[in-house]
Amino acid sequence: VELTQAFLEAIERLNPRLNAYITVTGEKALADAAASDARRAKGEARALDGIPLGIKDLFCTEGTRTTAGSNILGGFVPPYESTVSANLKRDGAVFLGKLNLDEFAMGSSNQTSAFGAVENPWSRANDPDRRLVPGGSSGGSAAAVAARLAMGATATDTGGSIRQPAAFCGITGIKPTYGRCSRWGIVAFASSLDQAGPVARTVEDNAILLRSMAGHDPKDSTSANLPVPDFRAAVGRGVKGLRIGVPAEYRLDGLAPEIAALWDQGLEWLRAEGAEIVPISLPHAKYALPTYYVVAPAEASSNLARYDGVRFGLRENGSDLKDLYERTRARGFGAEVRRRIMIGTYVLSAGYYDAYYLKAQKVRALIRRDFEEAWGKVDAIVTPATPSAAFAMDEKQDDPVTMYLNDVFTVTANLAGLPGLAVPAGLDGQGLPLGLQVIGRAFDEETVFAVGGAIE
């Protein structure tokens, strides 16, 4: 209760500036914390008893408003709990509230949220004109953890939404293998790419949280029926004898020198710990971004068809049913979401399906095959997490393509379904955090945690 109280006070003090929480559930949190204390007193503590966490507002929480950062869900209170958050509850975690995000998780800066932008806690108080973004879409989750407004948080990653905000806020996050965590009860963006995962201060905290979040769920047909390993035991395992791949194609033209230096430094650390550094090639990596920005909007346009003004949240009156749909969707969706729906319906339309969607699916298979080949030579791959440190709120706003370039290092892992971890590895010239990314084989998060632990 004392710990929960302290976090609630910190939220009260700092959230008006950071805007990381959309909803704070203080009363519920204190009641749950008291129940945790009672269990501890009886010697019946569970794995996460009394640990205060924040929940990205994309996870449905029974009895607590869930917005997905969108007006279209206005006032939606789910009558059910997502499997991932239910797993955390089962283990005794205390939920402080629901965390801000880009609308329907579409964005890289948390600026598309209908509930306002989130500020990166690394913004300098003495430079109010240069407020930094926390990254996105899990900007609220990363900012809350970095500012100590939660000990950890849930997040989701469709193209980088766990790893990029973690890197921008100087914390750690893992997108597990596709299928490791159930997607049931998480508002869908692009179903073949979406994965839930934790963000927290350390690699070890991530391992502890993921253990609790993961596991087979009959309610999600894509959830893997595999045992959940003790990830925590892997964190300190070391990297002696591991082969670490360095993809040549990620040395982009114009890669910022400080990002290149960070990467070299990280590889040097791993070599010093006994890993072997192996140059590899992922020849189709350069097509990953355009492939993602066809596949993700296509799936999004289909998933978002359900918001029709009838079943959920917002409803605008119309002269007939079609008019009701149109008015509700025009009013309820923000500009970025509308852009994705238009791109998605376009690439799926009869005349363009073969040229765009089908082509993207084929390239996705090639990207996946590149990784298959790499796993013959290496045990993990290390790359930068992002092409830059956190940028200012007014940068990259006008041009969606510039914003999409943020995901250049992260989308491949989603397209191939592989686990990817972002871990802080240094600071840029202005003292802002920079992260490295560790990608592993499917369902081998343990090696990813071992490499992450060595970099940290």
Segment lying near ligand GLN (by CB under 6 A), choices 103-111, 117-125, 349-357, 359-367:
103-111
DSSP string, 162-215: THHHHHHHT-EEEE--TTSS--TTBPPS-TTT-EEEEEESSHHHHHHHHHHH--
Q: Is 158 in the site for ligand GLN (CB under 6 A)?
A: yes
CA angle 397/403/406 to nearest 5° reads 145
In the bound state, the residue with its beta carbon closest to ligand GLN is 161
Which one of 87, 137, 154, 388 is in contact with ligand GLN (CB under 6 A)? 137
Q: Is 161 in the site for ligand GLN (CB under 6 A)?
A: yes
Compare residues 108 and 206 and give the one whose CB is closer to ligand GLN. Answer: 108
Q: Is 303 in the site for ligand GLN (CB under 6 A)?
A: no
User: Helix 257-272 and helix 445-455: axis angle, to 10°?
Assistant: 100
Would you call 8 helix, strand, or coil by DSSP?
A: helix
Place of tokens 């006032």: 75
Compare residues 196 and 209 and give the one whose CB is closer to ligand GLN. Answer: 196
Segment lying near ligand GLN (by CB under 6 A), choices 64-72, 153-161, 221-229, 391-399:
153-161
Q: Do residues 267 and 244 touch, judged by C-beta distance below 8 A?
A: yes
| Neighbouring residues of 415: CB distance < 8 A, sequence distance ≥ 6 | 193, 288, 291, 292, 295, 364, 367, 368
Q: Is 296 in the site for ligand GLN (CB under 6 A)?
A: yes
Compare residues 142 and 239 and give the one whose CB is closer to ligand GLN. Answer: 142
**d(Cα 139, Cα 141) in Å, to the nearest integer?**
5
Helix (H) or strand (E) holding 279: strand 276-280
* Entry field: residues in the chain: 456
Compare residues 46 and 338 and give the one whose CB is closer to ligand GLN. Answer: 338
Q: Is 58 in the site for ligand GLN (CB under 6 A)?
A: no
Place of tokens 């492939």: 291
Which one of 106, 133, 262, 298 is in contact with ligand GLN (CB under 6 A)? 106
Q: How far is the CB of 135 from ligand GLN (least distance, A)?
A: 9
Q: Is 159 in the site for ligand GLN (CB under 6 A)?
A: yes
Q: Is 107 in the site for ligand GLN (CB under 6 A)?
A: yes
Q: Is 141 in the site for ligand GLN (CB under 6 A)?
A: no
Closest by CA position to 336, among listed 134, 68, 87, 125? 68
Residues involved in catalysis: 56, 137, 161
Q: Is 111 in the site for ligand GLN (CB under 6 A)?
A: no
Q: How far is the CB of 268 from ligand GLN (least distance, A)?
A: 30
Compare residues 100 and 108 and give the one whose CB is closer to ligand GLN. Answer: 108
Q: Do residues 183 and 166 touch, judged by C-beta distance below 8 A?
A: no
Q: What are phi and psi of 23, to 5 degrees?
A: -135, 130
Which one of 81, 407, 445, 446 is in contact with ligand GLN (CB under 6 A)? 407
Q: For 102-254, list the strands marked E by DSSP.
A: 152-157, 172-175, 195-200, 243-247
Q: Do residues 123 and 130 touch, judged by C-beta distance below 8 A?
A: yes
Compare residues 148 and 339 and give the one whose CB is closer to ligand GLN. Answer: 339
Q: Is 195 in the site for ligand GLN (CB under 6 A)?
A: no
Segment lying near ligand GLN (by CB under 6 A), choices 6-14, 145-153, 157-165, 220-228:
157-165
| Neighbouring residues of 350: CB distance < 8 A, sequence distance ≥ 6 | none
Compare residues 73 and 296 and give the one whose CB is closer to ligand GLN. Answer: 296
Place of tokens 């997040």: 155
Q: Which positions lie near ligand GLN, rule CB under 6 A?
A: 105-108, 137, 157-161, 189, 296, 407
